[in-house]
Amino acid sequence: MIAAVICIAAGVAAAVLFSLLRHGKCDDAGILYPEKGNAAPYSILKTFKKSIPGARDQKLHLKAAKPGKKFNMPGFVKKAARSMPLFHGSGPAVSHEAGLIRYNTYVLTSAEKFKYWLLAAAVLFSVGFLFFKSPYISAFLCGFSFLYPPYKKKDLMTRRKNLLNQQFRDALFSIASSLSSGKSVEGAFRAALDDLKILYDDENALIIKEFELLNRRMDRNETLDRALLDFAERADIEDIKNFADVLIICKNTGGNLIEVVRNASNIINQKIDIKNEMQVVIAEQKFSQKVLNMVPFGLLSMMAAGSPEYMAPLYSLKGHMAMFLVLMLLAASYVISSKITDIEI
């Protein structure tokens, strides 16, 4: 009963915190951007003042900013805002100058933060109760659930960049075909957008959005070189950066654009194929890793359910110390095995 009350109180507190922080966005430079129509309650940062190094030696001047305005926070608050994922606003990571997606960052929405936090809290509470049979220790372990959303954010960011890289490969095939038919470079990028809309049914596909942006910028009399370099910088993908550099050099010096685009698409295609083959090879090892990580929890559950008298000494004070050591070793083994199977090309 007490454990349930603690969990409910923690969930309510987290929900209130998320609802307060969602009214403002903080970029990597530590600048808060309130959403229009809301006055962000920045005084909530005062509750974290004591936990921030150097905060006691500085004056904290925080007030509700006008909606749609921005203000610079003190240096120690900027440091905390960059290090604490809860202070980042909801929605996709964008450039505040032009509202463009930056693929080297990923900002979870408030709903996603709460979902992943709740999932991690449920798993940690179950693991804690299984190892210690104490609702208090289990509730204490739930406090570490805030570490999971940043980990999940990196995973989602990696998936999004891989998806963009695969879609960019398809766009290169279309560009190469248009150049072979005699179209200009700008015309090839415009024709590629029509091909991509046929290839991808979803109009919100990443590559469609990016090519629509490229075409709009060319319609505003911006050069393709500038638009393509901006896309490569935001994507932060080696293949796209290399393609943009080579294309611009060939375009300005009179190189063979058809051969360049064809070679670039072939290289990206080969890299993706090699990566997929490697994923197939290590899929069995990853599955074995997951099974081995779950075996100790399964055995402990079976022994606790089948022979509670035999397991009783493990739930004493000395037993808790031993179980805590075992839990740390299991966590370390999971981290090490995950890094071993994480192979980048």
Can you give the pLDDT at residue 250? 86
Walk along the chain (345 residues) and give the pLDDT tens digit of each residue.
444 444 445 544 444 344 444 444 444 333 333 343 333 333 333 333 333 344 333 333 333 333 344 444 444 434 434 443 333 333 444 333 446 888 988 988 999 999 999 999 999 999 999 999 888 999 999 989 988 999 899 989 989 998 998 899 889 889 988 888 888 888 999 999 999 999 998 888 999 999 999 999 999 999 989 999 999 999 999 889 988 998 888 888 877 888 888 888 888 888 888 888 888 888 888 888 888 889 999 999 998 888 888 888 888 888 889 999 999 999 898 888 888 877 766
Can you give the pLDDT at residue 345? 60
Whether 84 and 167 map to the same domain: the answer is no
How far apart CA 42 and CA 20 sit, in angstroms, is 9
Q: For the chain, what is the domain count?
A: 2
Domain ranges, residue 249: 159-272
Can you give the pLDDT at residue 41? 36
- Whether residue 64 is contained in a domain is answered as yes
Q: Among candidates 125, 154, 155, which has minimal Cα distance to 142?
A: 125
Can you give the pLDDT at residue 74? 45
Of the residues 237, 252, 272, which one is the last residue of a structural domain? 272
pTM for the model: 0.65
The values of phi and psi at residue 310, to 5°, are: -70, -35
User: Tokens in use for 303?
Assistant: 């022994």
Whether 264 and 165 map to the same domain: the answer is yes
Q: Among candidates 32, 12, 13, 15, which has minimal Cα distance to 23?
A: 32
Whether 166 and 68 map to the same domain: the answer is no
How far apart CA 265 and CA 270 sit, in angstroms, is 9
Whether 165 and 264 map to the same domain: the answer is yes
- Whether residue 295 is contained in a domain is answered as no
How far apart CA 16 and CA 10 sit, in angstroms, is 10
Q: Are 25 and 158 spatial neighbours (Cβ–Cβ below 8 Å)?
A: no
Whether 81 and 172 map to the same domain: the answer is no
Can you give the pLDDT at residue 101? 87
How far apart CA 165 and CA 282 sit, in angstroms, is 21
Whether 181 and 83 map to the same domain: the answer is no
- Whether residue 117 is contained in a domain is answered as no
Whether 181 and 268 map to the same domain: the answer is yes
Sheet holding 24-26, edge to edge: 24-26, 31-34, 71-72
Q: Are 176 and 268 spatial neighbours (Cβ–Cβ below 8 Å)?
A: no
Whether 265 and 170 map to the same domain: the answer is yes
Whether 187 and 268 map to the same domain: the answer is yes
Helix, strand, coil distribution of the chain in percent, nearest 5: 75, 5, 25
β-bridge pairing 71-72 and 31-34: antiparallel
Of the residues 249, 272, 295, which one is the last residue of a structural domain? 272
Can you give the pLDDT at residue 283? 82
Of the residues 246, 272, 298, which one is the last residue of a structural domain? 272
- Whether residue 210 is contained in a domain is answered as yes
- Whether residue 308 is contained in a domain is answered as no
DSSP 50: G
Can you give the pLDDT at residue 120? 93
How far apart CA 96 and CA 135 sit, in angstroms, is 45
- Whether residue 70 is contained in a domain is answered as yes
- Whether residue 144 is contained in a domain is answered as no
Whether 164 and 246 map to the same domain: the answer is yes
Q: Are 119 and 109 spatial neighbours (Cβ–Cβ below 8 Å)?
A: no
- Whether residue 288 is contained in a domain is answered as no
